[in-house]
Structure 1
Amino acid sequence: MTASGIAEHAVETFAARERQRFLEQNPKSVALAERARHSLFGGVPMHWMADWSTPCPLFVERAQGARFHDVDGHEYIDFCLGDTGSMFGHSPAPIARALAEQAGNGLTTMLPGEDAVVAGELLAGRFGLPYWQVTATATDANRYVLRWARAITGRKVLLVFDGCYHGTVDDVMVRHRDGRTVHRSGLVGQAHDLTRYSRSIPFNDIAALEAALAQGDVCALLCEPAMTNIGMVLPEPGFLQKCRELTRRYGSLLIVDETHTISTGIGGCTKLWGLDPDFFVLGKPIAGGVPCGVFGCSAAMADAMSQARRHASEHSHGHSGMGTTLSANALAMHCMRANLEQVMTQAAYDHMLPLAARLAEGFRGLIGKHGLQWSVTELGARCEFQFCPQPPKTGAEAEAAFHDDLQMALHLYLINRGILITPFHNMTLCCPDTSEADADRLIATLDEALTELLAIPGARE
């Protein structure tokens, strides 16, 4: 018996049956996977695309709204939505129009247009920070903000929470183990000792937070308002306010990364919870699915950035180490403006949030019905069921609740019946095109999966 309450042999029996079903009903995906093996490393354009629960990659033909179709003609309800990259649905009509409008007017020029001005004004009005910069991704935004934080404070150490997600910034690839900061397992090709200038502590641990900041060498705390990649972990009451208080007390900056938590509301957790960060980062959904990221800063930080830039350029022309030629390109700016004006609206959130609550309630009902010691965590338009009796409070607790084989078996069952949820954990996201019927179908299908799994002899031994 595992911590999930379901025997391993039952999970494997269940999964084997579902793997066979996938192979039988997806011959074109199977053929494409074999063909791709000869030209793409791992048979996919990015290696992690092969890490899903399917026995071979599922190849997509087209996507629209809350649905996509695979090359074998199957339709899927999508609760993954590009892991937030398509948070407001696939190819929203205003974004499709913006792409067509800009296609013949230049894609990248290294110069701004009116769209940049309008987008900056919209960002400032929505998130409460007066000054903005545009990047290609949230990873870039985090990397550049970290450079600014180190330049402004004159300190080198970055503080992060154990299990955090901030893209592929090298400095965040650390974990907290036995009271020490260590490299994240599975890290490939790491040449430098990240623990020299990065420090990892448990989420929701005020004592550890103050002890880390009190050393006086932390340039910034980079954090998600709620953890979303190690499994969803919500902040304890008052914890984020303590983060703001203690960073100020010890002369460190507060960077809030809302790339995932923007699902909470139109101004994110920053506005909803009054977080008052020095820097704010957002990526993935900001341009409606077109690659783009942004970071905003307070007026005080803008002044400090100007001073840091002047200091760095006193003796030479130099290079800031920030920005690429595709940053803030004309196509992304036009799409971001359209997204902020027409897609990422209060009306969209008013539709999405109640559906996520409906899903969460449905998950709780299934857990009770099947007598499982699992829990559910909610955050805005997303929710997750986790294989632990109480919602986790730290990244370590969330990770301890993982049961990869069970999770992948349940995901594959759903995929085989036309439903996709976020891989690697059990998170769902609702978009403006998701319907109550879609949510109800996910609950009903998961109910069928659990019923069949638990009917295997010895599943509860």
Structure 2
Amino acid sequence: MSMPSDIRQRAEALTASERERFSALHPRSRQMAAEAGEHFPGGVPLHWMLDWETPFPLFVQRAEGSTVTDVDGHAYSDFCLGDTGAMFGHSPAPVTKAIAEQAANGLTAMLPSALTARVGQLLSDRFGLPFWQVTATASDANRAVVRWARALTGRRKVLVFDGCYHGQVEDAFVKLDGSTTKMKPSLLGQVVDIAENSIAVPFNDLDAVEAVLAKEDVALVLTEPALTNTAMVLPKEGYIEGLLAAARRHGTLVCIDETHTISTGPGGFTRAHGLEPDFFVLGKPIAGGLPAAVFGFTEKVEADMRRVLETKEPGYSGIGTTLSGNMLALAAMRACLEEVMTPGNYARMTALAEKLASGLRGEVSRHGLPWTVTQIGARAELVFSSRPLENGAEAAAAIDHTVERAIHLFLLNRNVLVTPFHNMTLVAPTTTQADVERLVARFGEALSALCGRAEV
């Protein structure tokens, strides 16, 4: 899956010239970066904001709908959408209205909101699990699920998939080195070897899953329905169903993390495919962009939770933070679930994403490149592979950061934003046909530049 050397060379040259172009177009951002850099490393409140390949950060003045406007006055068609956090558009009107109304009546009190019963019913109806808890992030939700699974089963081990992503959950920071699970070397400050209790196996390989689960020492399988934070890998037909069946045979709990695959439809991949996991996690867009996440679980899991709580030693369980489930988050979640994450909005998002994916494929074909475009609902992604990927190893081999970043910066300088970490695009209810046409056209120009064609 190696990239042709001439394309990589042009990508390096293109990135250099586009960095110069960015600098000329954004004098106010340059100034703000210098000012912010006096107190924030790199000039940003979180280091991931430096991953756009720009010579200095792009500072935002306003984000509304599917448009981001920077401090220099440039307006962008936004297909990054906060890397899913703003998947339904920036500041959806029902959510901003609910936030304003709730803000006048309290933000947090460490007590349940009057909306609690309503939000619980909405979550149960939408995703099919009867019981729920609210956290501040999907990382917190996944951590809680891992801790609960170990407490409920009395087992220590967790199975994850090579190439997976579950936020800051330490138990997921492992990878395959051949057939051996090893801790990811990129992890900072880790003093205990995670690979002692976490096992990585290839995605889409039921035999590998069965071999691990047969030892009956795995508390939890933690998985996305599709690998999404690398070059996107979709599950083979029947794979997730087979995974759930294997786990049940061996007394292992399963958590499906839908934080990215909520693009599939109103109930995520889980509801679209009639899955019945023990746990379900959703973060990022559940409150319209406000920090919030949820994890749901079955009646049996809830009964086992009560049993454990009745017998555990007094003291902090290690699950939950003070601001989890605050009144403001519940108000935003209620509005998002009822008025924003609607079947009608999803139908529009998916239909427009299909047009986007088709347009991107057309440009790839026109330029004779051996690449594919993968789609899952409102999410479409360019993959540097001639065929759909099957596992994390193939996904890692398909990534080419040099070419990827050249394309991203080229698009950014022409008023289109895509996710900087990989080639992911999202379509929101507020995305327009004109936005899609702009992205496809600018993407075609980027490919022409990489292929050395005279039209650019």
State TM-score, norm by structure 1.
Answer: 0.97
Partner of 1:399: 396
Check conservation: 1:281, 1:294, Cα contact below 8 A.
yes
> For residues 436 and 113 of structure 1, what CA distance do their matches in structure 2 show?
40
Check conservation: 2:10, 2:449, Cα contact below 8 A.
no
Runs of 5+ consecutive residues of structure 2 not aligned to the other structure: none
Check conservation: 2:113, 2:326, Cα contact below 8 A.
no
Q: Could you give the per-residue CA deviations for residues 110-149 of structure 1, whole angstroms, max 9, x where no partner exists?
A: 1112211100000001111001111111111111111110
Q: What residue identity is the alignment partner of 1:415?
A: L
Structure 1 residues 362-401: aligned runs within 5 Å: 362-401=359-398
Check conservation: 1:5, 1:373, Cα contact below 8 A.
no
> For residues 269 and 47 of structure 2, what CA distance do their matches in structure 1 show?
32
Partner of 2:194: 194
Check conservation: 2:66, 2:428, Cα contact below 8 A.
yes
Indicate the SS of the match to 1:7: helix
Q: Could you give the per-residue CA deviations for residues 180-218 of structure 1, whole angstroms, max 9, x where no partner exists?
A: 111113111111110111111110011111111112110
Partner of 2:356: 359
Structure 1 residues 49-60: aligned runs within 5 Å: 49-60=49-60
Check conservation: 2:33, 2:42, Cα contact below 8 A.
no
Indicate the SS of the match to 2:419: coil
Partner of 1:103: 103
Q: Could you give the per-residue CA deviations for residues 211-234 of structure 1, whole angstroms, max 9, x where no partner exists?
A: 111121100100000111012110
Q: Could you give the per-residue CA deviations for residues 402-459 of structure 1, whole angstroms, max 9, x where no partner exists?
A: 11111101100000010000112101000000011111110011111111232269xx
Partner of 1:441: 438
Partner of 1:32: 32
* Shift, 1:5, TM fit: 6.6
Check conservation: 1:4, 1:373, Cα contact below 8 A.
no
Structure 1 residues 25-424: aligned runs within 5 Å: 25-313=25-313, 317-424=314-421
Q: What residue identity is the alignment partner of 1:77?
A: S
- CA change 1:427–1:21 in 2 (3 A) is same
* Shift, 1:43, TM fit: 2.0
> For residues 365 and 20 of structure 1, what CA distance do their matches in structure 2 show?
30
* Shift, 1:395, TM fit: 1.1
Check conservation: 1:3, 1:388, Cα contact below 8 A.
no
Indicate the SS of the match to 1:114: coil
> For residues 261 and 357 of structure 2, what CA distance do their matches in structure 1 show?
17
> For residues 398 and 193 of structure 1, what CA distance do their matches in structure 2 show?
25
Q: Could you give the per-residue CA deviations for residues 46-68 of structure 1, whole angstroms, max 9, x where no partner exists?
A: 11111212121111111000011
Check conservation: 2:7, 2:450, Cα contact below 8 A.
no
Deviates more, 1:447-456 or 1:403-412: 447-456
Report the aligned-residue RMSD: 1.3
> For residues 88 and 217 of structure 2, what CA distance do their matches in structure 1 show?
40
Partner of 1:16: 16
> For residues 311 and 231 of structure 1, what CA distance do their matches in structure 2 show?
44
* Shift, 1:262, TM fit: 0.6
Q: What residue identity is the alignment partner of 2:445?
A: E
Indicate the SS of the match to 2:373: strand
> For residues 56 and 390 of structure 1, what CA distance do their matches in structure 2 show?
36
Q: Could you give the per-residue CA deviations for residues 225-247 of structure 1, whole angstroms, max 9, x where no partner exists?
A: 01110121100011101101100
Q: What residue identity is the alignment partner of 1:298?
A: T
Runs of 5+ consecutive residues of structure 1 not aligned to the other structure: none
Check conservation: 2:2, 2:398, Cα contact below 8 A.
no
Indicate the SS of the match to 1:231: coil
Deviates more, 1:9-18 or 1:204-213: 9-18
Check conservation: 1:266, 1:349, Cα contact below 8 A.
yes
Check conservation: 2:102, 2:328, Cα contact below 8 A.
yes
**Amino-acid identity (%):** 53
Q: Could you give the per-residue CA deviations for residues 315-349 of structure 1, whole angstroms, max 9, x where no partner exists?
A: xx222111111000010011111111111111110
Check conservation: 1:66, 1:77, Cα contact below 8 A.
yes
Check conservation: 1:135, 1:292, Cα contact below 8 A.
yes
Check conservation: 2:353, 2:427, Cα contact below 8 A.
yes
> For residues 395 and 101 of structure 2, what CA distance do their matches in structure 1 show?
45
Q: Could you give the per-residue CA deviations for residues 241-273 of structure 1, whole angstroms, max 9, x where no partner exists?
A: 110110001110010000110110001111111
Q: What residue identity is the alignment partner of 2:102?
A: Q
Indicate the SS of the match to 1:455: coil
* Shift, 1:4, TM fit: 5.0
State TM-score, norm by structure 2.
Answer: 0.98
Check conservation: 1:255, 1:279, Cα contact below 8 A.
yes
Indicate the SS of the match to 2:451: helix
Q: What residue identity is the alignment partner of 1:78?
A: D
Number of equivalences: 454
